[in-house]
Structure 1
Amino acid sequence: MNKLMTRLAALPRDARDTLFLLAVIALVVLPQVENLPWWCSAITAMVLVWRGMLAVQARPLPSKWWRIALLAMTLGATYATHRTLLGRDAGVTLVVILLALKTLELRARRDAFVIFFLSFFAMLTNFFYSQSLLTALTMLLALLGLLTALVNAHMPVGRPPLMQAARTAGWMALAGAPIMLALFMLFPRLAPLWGTPGDAMAGRTGLSNTMRVGTIAELALDESIAARIRFENDKAPPQSQLYFRGPVLAQFDGREWTALPLWARGAQSGQGASNLRVSGEPVRYEVTLEPSNRPLLLTLDVAQKAPVAPGLEVTGTSDMQWFANRPLNDLVRYRAESYTQFQSGPLKRTAGQLQAYLALPPDTNPRTAALAAEMRADPALAPLSPQADTQAFVQAALRRLRTGGYTYTLEPGVYGNDTADEFWFDRKEGFCEHIASAFVVLMRNLGVPARIVTGYQGGEFNGIDKYWVVRQSDAHAWAEVWQEGTGWTRVDPTASVAPGRIGQSQRLVQQPGLFAGAIGAMSPTLAQNIRAAWEAVNNGWNQWVLNYTQSRQLNLLKNIGFDAPSLEDLAYVLLYLLVGASLAGAAWTLWERTRHDPWLRLLGQARARLAKAGLALPETAPPRQMAQAADARFGPAARPVRDWLLKLEAQRYAPSGSPGPSVPASLATLRSEFRRLAWPGANSRG
């Protein structure tokens, strides 16, 4: 390390500054690696390393034909990857690759400025994909690096230390912070002009609009956060009752479950299930929902009234889901009220009303159909009433799951076409989607209307910020069955196979990495406490920065005295602040000028007048030397100027009270005489 630092210190300034700029560019691009095509990341890394080697070895830059060839190749690769050269993803790819290629023609200061501004833009593109606190901190560091490089480029010839430029850049950022804060607080909040990544949940825990059974051999746990919940007065239900409702799936083609069309479920703005019956005290809470690229609003099962989501129109369906009027591509915060004890749907079956919840594809899962026939013929399950019939069948199926050797696993292997048959009779293992699907297929074969509900179950309480954290690894699937006289009732068959999965008493966790495993070995609770603290900080970032909405801006104006604030008031307040900041800056500039030595300023004005007359003098020349030079250059024409310069010298070096034949003139007098002086012209000669 010492040898490396010594070699870097011995480099010429041009090579040192180039390496620093390349390191800053790498920091700007690094968070984008997971969003860029692999070839873009590889070419960018190779170009930056190549440019660094050229700087260290003082070798010439490649010819323009190399750059043209690389540009053509990358344009073709961008089009082949994205099928367009426009849009967010293709645009970001081009910006990054052009930034890297521009370093290959970094010769003059003008080229450096182009790279600076391209880097600033590339830095902003990171927020197209993530607005997390970690991204913001990384980009803040990159911003300080770019400002340091920009300040260093304006520093005089020589080898000024980078730390000096970094201090100046830090003061610049600090001076701009109040304006940045004012713009953040008061600039009207506009909808984002870009999209978000598509749904990439396949093969990982999390919600999806469909559920394809048996095609995933191994399920990876995704520990990313789906939502944060803050219960009113910290009165949270027991974990076993924390079911957050997501997509309701009723159509089955033998392998894949999908939702019924919206027209078949019924939807009405601001209303949910038309026949929802609730009991007990309502649970009030606030949800901070992470971007999902879907319009679904998660609620605790179930919400009787539409969630209050500022800026969104909310629509409910008869199967108790709530949808916003647009995909949720950014952080959303809303309030809701739910009941954990409820029933819904019709109490009596009418012709065709529940037929969609009994439908099964023909010639599938024959052994499950035979099992249903055996259960219907079992005298122990002889129906006393339609409601008792359903309850008996449900309890028999749950008893089979508890006692039949079934296990819960995230590695069930790939299932065949008859997934319910394989689960009930062959494999006897799977995760919640296998269990819920097999259970619903059995219920439908028994003539019991049933459907699958997906969502999240459980959560993790963060004692630092008092929020419940719901992760993608909490994604769950359960069933609802319809009973005569009761309606739809929740049944969670996974609880019969793995009771510890429900309520999170045995929460699914990822295998820790090397670093986290080492921390866990030293202190079992340290890693958990560190994560809780970091997530609390992230939650604060989400609540106060990312979720700072237009309504909160207007509430801010209301708190400072506006009765009915509007966007116009917001613009006026922002304008007044900016004008005030400008006036304060001007006043500070005037005050700063008064701090300069007025004697030196007057001497500088005299030097400038002599230079205009054709006599250039160094800034270090004292008044007597200037007087002698003027006398020699202009002769008698410069005599008034010579006398005035000697008076100026006496004013500084022969102050009042010193022995001498005359009293030195004051600065005010000298300033007045300066304005009346007849200065020699450029053609004056002695």
Structure 2
Amino acid sequence: MLNARLQALPREARDTLFLLAVIGLILLPQVPNLPWWCSTLAAIVLLWRGTLAVQSAPLPGKGWRIALLALTIAATYITHRTLLGRDAGVTLVVILLALKTLELRARRDAFVVFFLGFFTMLTNFFYSQSLLTAFAMLLALLGLLTALVNAHMPVGRPPLTQAARTAGWMALMGAPIMLVLFLLFPRMAPLWGTPSDAMAGRTGLSNTMRVGTITELALDDGIAARIRFDGGRVPPRTTLYFRGPVLSQFDGREWTAAPRFQRAAAPPNLRVRGPATGYEVTLEPTNRPWVLTLDATPARPDLPGYELSATPELQWVANRPISDLVRYRAESFTQFESGPVRRTTALQSYVALPPGSNPRTVALAAEMRADPALAGAATPALVQHVLQRLRTGGYSYTLEPGLYGDETADEFWFDRKAGFCEHIASAFVVLMRALDIPARIVAGFQGGEINGIDNFWVLRNSDAHAWAEVWQEGVGWVRVDPTGAISPDRVGQFRRLAPQPGLIAGAIGAMNPTLSQNLRAAWEAVNNGWNQWVLNYTQSRQMDLLKTLGFEAPSLQDLALVLLALLVVASLGGAAWTLWERSQHDPWLRLLGQARARLRQAGIELPEGASPRQMAERLAERFDGGAEPARQWLLRLEAQRYARAPAEALPALRREFRRLAWPR
């Protein structure tokens, strides 16, 4: 029914609707990144233009277009406080593309829309370079090419399928060139970054920890990193702590990192033992400089394009935010100690608490110190006493703890007795400091899961975790995870609290949980392949490719030479193909066309289908027997084609044609 209606439309209306549908496909992935008014206005304009096309109604006047343009420029400035930059620029490009359809009258306007559409299509990759985005933009590319080919067929009503086949062949013919440029064109840093961090209220890694302000934590199941352990040997799961920021300053509600000068006063003094664990990390963009590593990593990870340095708290950081997908190697030791082994003045900042904060927790610490069973107890005994309190005191791990007040540690220990890892770690460290034990919070990731299809270890944002480190005389900093005392499953066996599935995923999971898990693993494995082979094709991998081609110490100059050599070979191949294709055309018809051109120069106009005999007759009429050699040559050309036994070969006629004096 719909197809019949489309067939009944005039060609101009049909082509316009098709182009509007392609523009809608280009803009659809941008909706989450655009201001709401921009998406709404673009949709209204496209629907309006489609209605005008179906009704064959006149387009809006110049005044309407100028008013809409002024309105969108003002709205863009109000929204972004600028007309420059990525976000404001994309907003303007999107709305200009939509508005340009309102003056889509001639082929010239259509070509402007086509090429503006190609540019807008590229802006999708400013925000996401995922496999889904690439697939959607491939469809959009084929759609725009189809519309472009269709615009070059102005006569009649050619079906869109014919233009689509031509567009598909164009894309296939361009694919080898695209592949060569992808492999050999010098890799450069991206010209844009990812959006600012917006992890509040969701699981994920952050550089601060504000306790008690989030009433309900939403699990973000997005992938944060993928790890391939050397030989497939995954360390024991209880040792899988991936280190992020270390938070040691507390103002009563918020934990932050210590100032640089304060951290510099406490050297790391890392001491490792046991076997090393080698692995490769594929880290998703974070817009943070943190380089995720397994605790603890003494040697600098191998991350091309970045300068890395280690903080005194054993965290590796890059010289700039990681705004694109990166891959790096590292080597870690899960058995380690760090920090001073004797108490120094540098440790005093790790026992500091805001004056008057959490008085009941401070009183609890005083009771413990006064307890005869704990009198003079060392740090390990005090830590175990607090962990035992967590195990047996009715405390619980939950993602819906409710809103805490100002005294977060007091509320956790005595009132609510419930929270997620940040509440537990914060309350634990506050109590340790009240006991005059240096303590700090470490944020990072803990755990993960194996993808059975590609055998990568997967860390999700829902694996973000906070744990504690306490200082112990003669040992240094020691990891303590108080969440494990309340919920061992959160640390040991990895039976995670799962986010609510979507409608389709929930239906599949209800019918067949194994199928749902397998589909998810397969999709993530495909995405991982896209990340490994496409998004993470870096300059170092280009150099590795040149090494396989025989270059011992490849450089960018070698890369340019290889690319230039391939371009020369491709050009010569194209020239050879052109010569071969010309030789495959009918040489007799080509010679007849050359003769027709000579007659045209002599003022004799002939139809395209004129035979050599007709040409000879017109030649005799025009020059009254004065062009007999040319006339005889035309007759012999006809005989060469149609006589049963041609007297002359075509090469002889071609040579005679060059020597023949044609009348003028």
Q: Give the conservation status (yes or no) of the 8 Å contact 1:459–1:504.
A: no
Name the counterpart of 2:113.
115
Name the counterpart of 1:130.
128
Shift of the alpha carbon at 1:551? Answer: 1.4
Moved more, 612-621 or 542-551: 612-621
Name the counterpart of 1:565.
554
Structure 2: give runs of 5+ residues left out of the alignment. none
Give the Cα–Cα distance (whole angstroms) in 2 for the partners of residues 615 and 250 of structure 1. 96
1:195-594 matches, cutoff 5 A? 195-266=193-264, 274-350=268-344, 352-383=345-376, 388-594=377-583
Give the Cα–Cα distance (whole angstroms) in 2 for the partners of residues 510 and 635 of structure 1. 96
Shift of the alpha carbon at 1:504? Answer: 4.6
Shift of the alpha carbon at 1:170? Answer: 1.4
Name the counterpart of 1:659.
none
Moved more, 301-310 or 642-651: 642-651
Q: Give the conservation status (yes or no) of the 8 Å contact 1:284–1:336.
A: yes
Name the counterpart of 2:72.
74
Shift of the alpha carbon at 1:436? Answer: 0.5
Shift of the alpha carbon at 1:292? Answer: 0.7
Q: Give the conservation status (yes or no) of the 8 Å contact 1:436–1:493.
A: yes
Give the Cα–Cα distance (whole angstroms) in 2 for the partners of residues 579 and 264 of structure 1. 60
Name the counterpart of 1:660.
none
Q: Give the conservation status (yes or no) of the 8 Å contact 2:193–2:324.
A: no
Q: Does 1:673 align with 2:656?
A: yes
1:91-106 matches, cutoff 5 A? 91-106=89-104
Closer, same or farther in 2 for the Cα pair 1:372/1:674, shift >3 Å? same
- After superposition, what is the alpha-carbon deviation per residue over 1:646-681, rounded to whole angstroms, capped at 9, x for unaligned? 33222211131xxxxxx5432223223333444454
Name the counterpart of 2:2.
4
Closer, same or farther in 2 for the Cα pair 1:648/1:372, shift >3 Å? same
Give the Cα–Cα distance (whole angstroms) in 1 for the partners of residues 564 and 524 of structure 2. 36
Moved more, 43-52 or 496-505: 496-505
TM-score for both structures, normalised by structure 2: 0.97
Aligned AA for 1:366?
P
Q: Give the conservation status (yes or no) of the 8 Å contact 1:240–1:458.
A: yes
Give the Cα–Cα distance (whole angstroms) in 2 for the partners of residues 80 and 613 of structure 1. 70
Aligned AA for 2:366?
A
Shift of the alpha carbon at 1:193? Answer: 1.5
Closer, same or farther in 2 for the Cα pair 1:85/1:639, shift >3 Å? farther
Name the counterpart of 2:147.
149
Give the Cα–Cα distance (whole angstroms) in 2 for the partners of residues 50 and 672 of structure 1. 65
Shift of the alpha carbon at 1:266? Answer: 2.4
Shift of the alpha carbon at 1:475? Answer: 0.3
- After superposition, what is the alpha-carbon deviation per residue over 1:399-431, rounded to whole angstroms, capped at 9, x for unaligned? 111111111111111111111111111111111
Aligned AA for 2:61?
S
Shift of the alpha carbon at 1:57? Answer: 1.3
- After superposition, what is the alpha-carbon deviation per residue over 1:415-452, rounded to whole angstroms, capped at 9, x for unaligned? 11111111111111111001111111111111111100
Give the Cα–Cα distance (whole angstroms) in 1 for the partners of residues 58 and 126 of structure 2. 37
Q: Give the conservation status (yes or no) of the 8 Å contact 2:291–2:316.
A: yes
Give the Cα–Cα distance (whole angstroms) in 2 for the partners of residues 50 and 644 of structure 1. 65
Q: Does 1:651 align with 2:640?
A: yes
Give the Cα–Cα distance (whole angstroms) in 1 for the partners of residues 18 and 116 of structure 2. 16
Closer, same or farther in 2 for the Cα pair 1:442/1:104, shift >3 Å? same
Give the Cα–Cα distance (whole angstroms) in 1 for the partners of residues 211 and 128 of structure 2. 31
Aligned AA for 2:599?
L
Structure 1: give runs of 5+ residues left out of the alignment. 657-662, 682-686
Moved more, 206-215 or 233-242: 233-242
Q: Give the conservation status (yes or no) of the 8 Å contact 2:270–2:337.
A: yes
Q: Give the conservation status (yes or no) of the 8 Å contact 1:241–1:503.
A: no
Shift of the alpha carbon at 1:381? Answer: 1.4
Q: Give the conservation status (yes or no) of the 8 Å contact 1:218–1:412.
A: yes
Moved over 6 A (4+): none
Q: Give the conservation status (yes or no) of the 8 Å contact 1:289–1:331.
A: yes
Shift of the alpha carbon at 1:67? Answer: 1.0
- After superposition, what is the alpha-carbon deviation per residue over 1:49-76, rounded to whole angstroms, capped at 9, x for unaligned? 1111111111111111111111111111
Partner of 2:157: helix, strand, or coil?
coil
Closer, same or farther in 2 for the Cα pair 1:566/1:208, shift >3 Å? same
Name the counterpart of 2:593.
604
Name the counterpart of 2:161.
163
Give the Cα–Cα distance (whole angstroms) in 1 for the partners of residues 305 and 333 of structure 2. 25
TM-score for both structures, normalised by structure 1: 0.94
Closer, same or farther in 2 for the Cα pair 1:632/1:108, shift >3 Å? farther
Moved more, 90-99 or 151-160: 151-160
Q: Give the conservation status (yes or no) of the 8 Å contact 2:284–2:325.
A: yes
Name the counterpart of 2:86.
88
Shift of the alpha carbon at 1:630? Answer: 4.7
Aligned AA for 1:603?
L
Closer, same or farther in 2 for the Cα pair 1:637/1:429, shift >3 Å? farther
Shift of the alpha carbon at 1:263? Answer: 2.5
Aligned AA for 2:268?
S
Partner of 1:33: helix, strand, or coil?
helix
Name the counterpart of 2:58.
60
Shift of the alpha carbon at 1:273? Answer: 5.7
Aligned AA for 1:473?
S
Q: Give the conservation status (yes or no) of the 8 Å contact 1:273–1:320.
A: no
Aligned AA for 1:208?
S
Q: Give the conservation status (yes or no) of the 8 Å contact 2:409–2:426.
A: yes
Q: Give the conservation status (yes or no) of the 8 Å contact 2:268–2:313.
A: no
Q: Give the conservation status (yes or no) of the 8 Å contact 2:395–2:418.
A: yes
Moved more, 492-501 or 597-606: 597-606
Give the Cα–Cα distance (whole angstroms) in 1 for the partners of residues 143 and 410 of structure 2. 61
Give the Cα–Cα distance (whole angstroms) in 1 for the partners of residues 437 and 399 of structure 2. 29
- After superposition, what is the alpha-carbon deviation per residue over 1:10-43, rounded to whole angstroms, capped at 9, x for unaligned? 2222111111111111111111111111111111
Shift of the alpha carbon at 1:5? Answer: 1.1
- After superposition, what is the alpha-carbon deviation per residue over 1:531-557, rounded to whole angstroms, capped at 9, x for unaligned? 111111111111111111111111211
Shift of the alpha carbon at 1:524? Answer: 1.1
Shift of the alpha carbon at 1:639? Answer: 5.3
Aligned AA for 1:599?
W
Q: Give the conservation status (yes or no) of the 8 Å contact 1:242–1:503.
A: no
Give the Cα–Cα distance (whole angstroms) in 1 for the partners of residues 623 and 196 of structure 2. 79
Shift of the alpha carbon at 1:581? Answer: 0.5
Q: Give the conservation status (yes or no) of the 8 Å contact 2:212–2:404.
A: yes
Identity %: 75
Aligned AA for 1:666?
A
Aligned AA for 1:446?
L
Shift of the alpha carbon at 1:615? Answer: 4.0
- After superposition, what is the alpha-carbon deviation per residue over 1:565-601, rounded to whole angstroms, capped at 9, x for unaligned? 1111110110010111111111101111111111111
Superposed CA RMSD in Å reads: 1.8
Aligned AA for 2:297?
A
Shift of the alpha carbon at 1:632? Answer: 5.2
